[in-house]
Amino acid sequence: MPENDPDETLKDRTVPLHELAQRKAPRIFGGYELRGELGRGGMGVVYRAHQMTLKRMVALKMLTGDYVADDVLRFRAEAEMAAGLQHPNIVHIHEVGEEDGVPFFSMEFVEGGTLGDLLLRGLPAPKQAAEMMMTLARAMHYAHRQGVVHRDMKPGNVLIGSQGEIKIADFGIAKRIDGEGSMTLSGAVMGTPVYMAPEQARGHSRKVGPAADVYALGALFYHLLSGRPPFLPDESDTALTLRVLQEDPVSPAWHRPEVPRDLETICLKALQKEPADRYSSADAMAEDLRRYLGDEPILAHPPTKIVRTVKWVKRHPLRLTLLLLLAGLLGAGGQRWWQWECPLLVRPATRLPAIPPRRRPVDRSPAPGKPHRQRPAPRTHAAQGRTHARTPRHGLRRSHRQRFAHLPLQPLRPLQSVSRRGAGRETHQFLLARLASPGGLLERSVS
């Protein structure tokens, strides 16, 4: 942004006091010369200013509008947490103070703009996007090691310097991992919905930890790869928060087919609904990105169909119940229809295949020069006074087909439409008629 004339006055958008509400802002504020507005949020505004004592350009943030004591405490907590982070990819805090009852702090001025401005000009190449995300993930991991959770990662809070350096800014709603210094009430939803983790969207501020920032990094990576956030409020009738809680985002390769499969896997793993299913830390995500950039196999794997099904069941128990009830009703109805209404097609009777010829009897006569072994005499039945030859064993092993093969076969008439009970009754009558036919088994037993 070009510098304005120092003599040009700026409109007051910073001083909340009623006596200064309608006046123009002073050109000098607490040892800083205001030279233009960089941006504004819900309760603060950021100016581009010149620090007169050290002769350097800074970004000056101060409260604006009607604020209460809790807003002042949150503003000071932001300054304190950001001041304790000394990392080359996190914006540095220079001074924290108060001027005429207005709290402010000055920080490092990054001249290149935000990541949102870069996305408006065009999408970076997938490899460049991976390099940027690796840098952001390592900086976020440093903040987590210092006990700070950002909770509002989005393109507007990522600054890009004139030399291409990337810096994380705006710790306005950040919290301490140990719970100290957090001004967020339980149940309050704070953050940007399209980049917000599911546990953060539920309002569980106590459960929001480093895993929420990993999800936000995944959502930011999704935007870099596909040109849009994972969810948009105007693309569905379902509420955005409900979609963040229940729906899985489509693959970034669906919006941009040239996205590599490994980057797609890394992005979707960071966007898992359950914190335990994401990367264990921002550093683990940065390591996978490093492995991709180094042409090494990544550690993340895409979820299988079974895993996706189990996750869908956990998120939609009511839908599963309805599907099971519907399947049970359809199964019962189909069984009823098959039992009473389905016709049976009976094939015409065909003659059984002929019995294969018996094998030739084996000549068991003794070899020349060997004595012939006499068979034992047949047993006698003293009561009847008759001699019965012993039934050979192989006669008891005759198959069912050989027993009834000599009976005459009569062709069956085809049944057009009979039930199972009718078919069983018809089969029974056929067997009785066959047994009672001339030369049948019943006639032989009587004779």
Q: What is the CATH number of the domain that holds 248?
A: 1.10.510.10
Determine, yes or no, domain membership for 101. Answer: yes
Q: What's the rounded Cα separation, in Å, for the pair 95 and 238?
A: 45
Determine, yes or no, domain membership for 352. Answer: no
Q: Is 168 in the same domain as 86?
A: no
Determine, yes or no, domain membership for 417. Answer: no
Determine, yes or no, domain membership for 375. Answer: no
Tell me which of 165-169, 317-321, 362-366 is least confident: 362-366
- For 329, the token pair is 């009703």
Determine, yes or no, domain membership for 317. Answer: no
Tell me which of 16-25, 159-168, 270-279, 383-392 is least confident: 16-25
Determine, yes or no, domain membership for 73. Answer: yes
Residue/partner pairs of 79-88 with CB below 8 Å, 24 or more apart: 79/105, 80/181, 81/148, 81/171, 81/174, 81/176, 81/181, 82/107, 82/171, 82/174, 84/146, 84/148, 85/142, 85/143, 85/146, 85/148, 85/171, 87/139, 87/142, 87/143, 88/165
Range of the domain at 154: 110-299
pLDDT tens per residue across span 86-145? 999 999 999 988 888 888 999 999 988 899 999 999 999 999 999 999 999 999 999 999
Tell me which of 36-45, 181-190, 220-229 is least confident: 181-190
pLDDT for position 10: 33
The residues annotated with a catalytic role in the active site are 152
Determine, yes or no, domain membership for 171. Answer: yes
- For 8, the token pair is 């040009």
Decide if pLDDT at 7 tops 50: no
Q: Hey, CA dihedral for 308, 309, 311, 312, is it positive or negative?
A: positive
What count of other Cβ atoms lies within 10 Å of the Cβ of residue 156?
A: 16
Does this model's pTM top 0.85? My answer is no
Backbone angles phi, psi at 111, to 5 degrees: -85, -20
Q: What's the rounded Cα separation, in Å, for the pair 222 and 275?
A: 18
Instruction: Between 287 and 18, name the one with better pLDDT.
Output: 287
The domain boundary, picked from 109, 133, 164, lies at 109
Q: Is 209 in the same domain as 265?
A: yes
pLDDT for position 101: 84
Q: Is 209 in the same domain as 100?
A: no
% of residues, the chain, pLDDT over 70? 64
Backbone angles phi, psi at 218, to 5 degrees: -65, -40
pLDDT tens per residue across span 355-375? 666 666 666 666 666 665 655
The domain boundary, picked from 65, 91, 109, lies at 109
